[in-house]
Copies of this chain bind each other. A is one copy, B any other.
Amino acid sequence: MVSKHYFAVIFTSTLIDNPIGYHEMALKMEELARQQHGFIDISSARNETGITVSYWETEQAILNWKANIDHQLAQKLGKSTWYASYKVEIARVERSYVFSK
């Protein structure tokens, strides 16, 4: 994690019942995100609600990732097929602290 400001995309979603092909696509998109310029890290958890937070060095890196052609296709499939709802929030991380045993 870098010490200067960085950016987080908070993606909160609910899926339809039995979202065939979703998990494969989610893994594929995570792999692809990791290869993008300006990518820092990604973290995911899902119960009824799913939360994925991806971290980026700049807002431009986020815009580039949003416009990535394979990601665009996944976004379209997500809206037409897998997601019941989602929310995307782009946030600037002002400060952070960590704890580890």
Specify which of B46, B85, B91 is in contact with A93 (CB 8 Å cutoff).
B91
CB distance from A34 to the nearest CB of B (A): 16
Size class of the contact patch on chain A: 20 to 34
Contacts of A93 in B (CB 8 A): 10, 89-91
Can you name the residue of chain B whose Cβ is closest to the Cβ of A100?
B85
Of all chain B residues, the one with the shortest Cβ separation from A78 is: B99
CB distance from A49 to the nearest CB of B (A): 5
Chain B residue at minimum C-beta to C-beta distance from A95: B90
Q: Does A68 contact B (CB under 8 A)?
A: no
A27 lies within 8 A of chain B by Cβ: no
Decide yes or no whether A74 CB sits under 8 A from chain B. no
Binding site for B on A (CB under 8 A): 8, 10, 12, 16, 43-47, 49-51, 53, 59, 79, 83-101
